[in-house]
Amino acid sequence: MIEVRDLKKSFGRQAILDGVNLRIEKGESVVIIGRSGGGKSVLLKHLVALLKPDSGQVLVDGEDVVPMNERQLLPVRHKFGMLFQGAALFDSMTVAENIAFPFRREKKMAKEEVARKVSEVLAMVELPGTEEKKPSELSGGMRKRVGLARAIVYQPQIVLYDEPTTGLDPVVSDSIDKLILRVRDRLDVTTVVVTHDMRSARRLGQRIMMLHDKKIYVTGTADEIFESKDPLVRKFIDGISDAN
Amino acid sequence: MRKRLSCGLRRRKRLLREFPKEHWNQSLPTLGILPLGKFCSALLVSATVMISEAKQWVVEWIEGLGRLSILAREAITSLFTLKVAWCDFLYQLYFVGVKSQSVVLITGAFTGMVLSAQTYMQFHKVRMDTATLAVVSVAMCSELGPVLTGLMVAGRVGAAIAAEVGTMRVTEQIDALRTLATHPVDYLVVPRLLALHVALPLLTVESITVGIVGAWIVGVQIYDIDATYAWANMLKYTTTSVVVVGLIKAVVFGGIVALIGCYKGMFCGEGAEGVGRATTEAVVYSSITILITNLFLTLSLGQIFHTF
């Protein structure tokens, strides 16, 4: 479904990704782990062509998205839904307007149908009755739920999550993890999660990739990675730093 | 002679090599205690650094111009190929047009009044009192009306556009738009561009009108100019072409404010500092662009419409 070949990206003189190769199959649930500032979010943004690489290919359903311009990318992006780190809700709109945003240009759909879809996804993310609230009135966890509702309302094939549990307390993090699993199972979507939360990674990932030193350092099933003897992987999973 | 030259060159290279790198960025007072040779080579290094910085500035400037041109092309393509979202357009028209009225009206009225007073004071010396309103009217219609309205709107609306779009960029809302299969130019730039193209000429007309009314009050009521002659002269010299030139200018200035505001917002730096800088730059660059464009529009439109 998604394939990345020899992806290189640098900002100014600083190389962020240097020869990343990966493949994500349809219906799979993949977690990309790695240190903060290691380029995980940058890699995720390349998958949906929000960033252009310096070199390399990103294939979505066999189609290279790198040479496409913004207008050619619009139909490709219909396949994707993305939950951003800070939820990225449109703060001038209400929750309902945010979620109905993908339908705003589709004149064919009746208002009642849009409203029904909005309340359906809000119920799915366990936030019924919040349609008229503004994003500023919501807590961090609620904002992420609304962000997820907006990402899945038009039933994409792939959902990308950029650090979905960062900055949330363990209980809310747990509920977000459960929500991601529920969305995956109910909508049968391919899931790509970027995180450095090991508990989330273990729970969400059928396959885990570790990004280290600008490359995919290791790939394996969740069990393989969590039982790995590799010192670098162990250090990351156990959360041991080099500092004294 | 050649030997001496090559000796000099070799010496300069050696000095450059020997000059400690940590001194390159030091200030001149520190360099004052260095031997003359080293001081000269430090100057040489400073010049090299300055040239490379100037080169970088020129490259960035050309890059920026290129990005702005691409944005303008995208906006024009979108304008002619897409259905306009009337709801967004109307909201922007309200924000740009209705909300800017007070500032534009005050500017127009007081500029008209002060211009009338100043013109009367000079013209009275040569007994041309009744030409006062004509001068004010022509100046307001062709130059001051569009330029001052453009500058005031650049300050109010250009800054607001840059701040809003810039905040959307730093909070990843523009990326969210793109993942929701919406082109940021279609959603953010086109309604603002259209609204400013429509609103600025209307605001300019308002500004010109209140300017002339203000000038009439000052000229006729305060300085006691003969109202009939002043009015007749004003109508005689304020030709249709003068008004059309002013309106064309207003349409162009509307485009400048919208495009520069959106451009600065969409390519702003990270964080609050980036948004702050984008806002300031949007106002400064649109104001300067309006003033420079005005000269060329005056020259070219003057030829086309024979306003002289």
Of A74, A90, A91, the CB nearest to B181: A74
Q: Are residues B126 and B271 in the same domain?
A: yes
Q: Using a CB-CB distance cutoff of 8 angstroms, which residues of chain A are in contact with residue B175?
A: 45, 50, 82, 84, 88
What tens digit of pLDDT does each residue of A89-98 get?
Answer: 998 899 999 9
Q: Say which amino acid occupies B114.
A: V
Dihedral sign, Cα of residue B217, residue B219, residue B222, residue B227: negative
Q: Residue A211: beta bridge partners?
A: A34, A216
The tally of CA atoms less than 13 A away on the side-chain side of residue B197 is 12
Question: Is B270 inside any structural domain?
Answer: yes
Q: Are residues B119 and B198 in the same domain?
A: yes
Put the strands of the sheet holding A29-34 in their side by side order. Answer: A80-83, A158-162, A190-195, A29-34, A207-212, A215-221
Q: Are residues B163 and B276 in the same domain?
A: yes
Full-model pTM: 0.82
Q: What is the mean pLDDT of residues B241-259?
A: 94
Q: What does the pLDDT read at residue B27?
A: 47
Percent of chain A whose predicted confidence (pLDDT) is above 90: 19
Of A77, A85, A88, the CB nearest to B173: A88
What value does the mean pLDDT of chain B take? 87
Q: Residue A190: beta bridge partners?
A: A158
- A192–chain B nearest CA distance, Å: 15
pLDDT of B17 over the 80 cut: no
Q: What does the pLDDT read at residue B24?
A: 52
Are B85 and A77 within 8 A, CB to CB? no
Are A50 and B182 within 8 A, CB to CB? no
Is B176 at the interface with chain A, CB within 8 A? yes
Task: Among A47, A50, A143, pick the best mutation site for testing chain B contact (most B Cβ within 10 A).
Answer: A50
Structural domain boundaries in chain A: 25-54+69-79+156-244, 91-151
Chain B: residue whose CA lies nearest to A48: B179
Q: Would you place residue B127 in the very low, low, confident or very high pLDDT band (cuts 50, 70, 90)? A: confident
Q: What is the mean pLDDT of residues A88-113?
A: 85
Q: Are residues B120 and B99 in the same domain?
A: yes
Percent of chain B whose predicted confidence (pLDDT) is above 70: 88
Q: Are residues B75 and B190 in the same domain?
A: no
pLDDT of B82 over the 80 cut: no
Are A151 and B175 within 8 A, CB to CB? no
Q: What does the pLDDT read at residue B153?
A: 94
Q: Using a CB-CB distance cutoff of 8 angstroms, which residues of chain A are in contact with residue B181?
A: 74-75, 77-78, 102
Is A201 at the interface with chain B, CB within 8 A? no
Question: Is B168 inside any structural domain?
Answer: yes
Domain of residue B63: give its range: 26-81
Q: How many CB pairs under 8 A join A and B?
A: 53
Secondary structure in 3-state letters for B124-147: HHHCCHHHHHHHHHHHHHHHHHHH
What tens digit of pLDDT does each residue of A12-55 get?
Answer: 888 889 888 989 988 889 999 988 888 888 999 999 999 999 99
Q: What is the mean pLDDT of residues A205-231?
A: 88
Q: Are residues B35 and B127 in the same domain?
A: no
pLDDT of B35 over the 80 cut: no
Q: What does the pLDDT read at residue A244?
A: 61
Q: What is the mean pLDDT of residues B1-24?
A: 56
What is the fold of A25-54+69-79+156-244? Rossmann fold (3.40.50)
Question: Is B194 inside any structural domain?
Answer: yes
Are B179 and A48 within 8 A, CB to CB? yes
Question: Is B20 inside any structural domain?
Answer: no
Q: What does the pLDDT read at residue B1?
A: 47
Chain A segment 48-107 residues within 8 A of B by beta carbon are 48, 50, 70-71, 73-75, 77-78, 80-82, 84-86, 88-91, 101-102, 104-105
**Could you report the predicted ipTM of this complex, rounded to two decimals?**
0.89
Q: Are residues B93 and B146 in the same domain?
A: yes
Q: What is the mean pLDDT of residues A75-91?
A: 89
Q: Are residues B49 and B135 in the same domain?
A: no
Q: Residue A220: beta bridge partners?
A: A208
Q: Is A56 helix (H, G, I), strand (E, B) or coil?
A: strand
What value does the mean pLDDT of chain A take? 87
* CB of A158 closer than 8 Å to CB of A77: no
